[in-house]
Amino acid sequence: MTHADVKVLIIGSGPAGYTAAIYAARAGLKPVLYTGAQPGGQLTITNDVENFPGYPNGINGPEMMIDLQKQAERFGTKVNYGMITSVDFSGYPLKVTVDEKDEITAGTVIIATGATAKYLGIPSEEKFNNKGVSACAVCDGFFYRGKDVAVVGAGDSAAEEATYLANLCTKVHLIVRRDEMRASKIMQQRVLKTPNIQIHWNTETDEILGDDNGVTGVRLLNNKTGEKSIISVQGFFLAIGHQPNTGIFKKYIDMDETGYIKVVPGTTKTNVEGVFAVGDAADKVYRQAITAAGTGCMGALDAEKFLVSKEMEEVGVTIGNQ
């Protein structure tokens, strides 16, 4: 194969990245993984993970990511703490720059940079993160069974999260900034037909309230009247979208309008030869640790097949020139 510094370069260190590393390492490909700015990804800010198979008693998110890193390293993955700051996918081998100074060439690149939940930007979000504030109802809704919660958002994601939580919680307050929702008609109808969902129209979150034990309520602002009110809730769910961490690849990789990487259906292949996308960087539907891990496995297997085919091509060229 054309010389490259590494055969498999993995960008990102969440469940997708580490699973890709485990499979690539076990295949003898000696993968190199760069953790990015948030080693371990979104799970490092998640206290309790109860829906990942293999942990019957649940596990702390950061602890789980340490376990995945150890497993990847056990099979020979080299984990580096650094940021991939730019890429050049215009030729082969593929080129990436680390921390704006060091260039690496790679036979394959697996993009596992994930996505970041969008927040409102109020200080209390960070204060009560993992103490009642969440950006994933499927992940954390179980902890609020029989309680009152609030969901902020007006699109399909907000409608889905509100109806999901309505099956678990006593009451769901849906906070909508305008006098209408952006969600599809069918999703709006589901919300309106769910008796324990109360919609607060023309309403914004002024502040999330709480104490040492977590969230106790939300102070709302009616943006038409200026009136403020307080509702009592134990959970506050953000559903205003996610931003995929894919900006540095835009020059080369095909993406949708919001920045999620497009892959060939049923694979992790991108439009660039030798570049594969896994996890939340390419998944705007499920966004779960277990689905991310699954695509990480796919990415490693796709990368291995690509490298084999590349080596066979070059062997064929050599023989043909004799």
Residue 12 has pLDDT above 60, yes or no: yes
Domain boundary among 212, 238, 264: 238
Domain boundary among 195, 213, 238: 238
**Global model pTM greater than 0.85:** no
Of 46-50, 150-154, 239-243, 286-290, the range with the lowest mean pLDDT is: 46-50
Residue 250 sits in the same domain as residue 106: yes
Give the model's pLDDT for residue 157: 86
Residue 292 has pLDDT above 60, yes or no: yes
Residue 100 sits in the same domain as residue 234: no
Helix axes of 185-192 and 156-166: crossing angle, nearest 10 degrees? 30
Domain of 277, CATH number, reads: 3.50.50.60
Return the percentage of the chain with pLDDT > 90, whole number. Answer: 79
Give the model's pLDDT for residue 322: 40
Please choose, from the candidates 175, 156, 161, the residue with its C-alpha nearest in 3D space to the C-alpha of residue 258.
Answer: 156
Q: Mark whether 139 is an active-site residue.
A: yes
Flag whether 1 is in a domain: no
Which tens digits make up the pLDDT trace of 14-56?
A: 999 999 999 999 999 999 999 987 777 777 767 678 889 999 9
Helix axes of 15-26 and 289-320: crossing angle, nearest 10 degrees? 40
Give the model's pLDDT for residue 37: 77
Active-site residue, from 5, 88, 102, 140: 140
Q: Which domain holds residue 309?
A: 6-116+242-320
Asked whether the bond before 15 is cis by omega within 30 degrees of 0, the reply is no
Domain boundary among 216, 238, 260: 238
Give the model's pLDDT for residue 241: 85
Q: Mark whether 136 is an active-site residue.
A: yes
Residue 128 sits in the same domain as residue 110: no
Structure tokens at 119: 């927040």
Active-site residue, from 5, 48, 99, 139: 139
Residue 166 has pLDDT above 80, yes or no: yes
Which tens digits make up the pLDDT trace of 170-198?
A: 999 999 999 999 999 999 999 999 999 99
Residue 2 has pLDDT above 70, yes or no: no
Give the per-residue SS3 of 71-138: HHHHCCCEEECCCEEEEECCCCCEEEEECCCEEEEEEEEEECCCEEECCCCCHHHHHCECCCEECCHH
- Give 154's DSSP letter: -
SS3 183: coil
Active-site residue, from 5, 67, 102, 136: 136
Instruction: Name the domain count of the chain.
Output: 2
> What mean pLDDT do residues 122-129 have?
92
Residue 111 sits in the same domain as residue 126: no
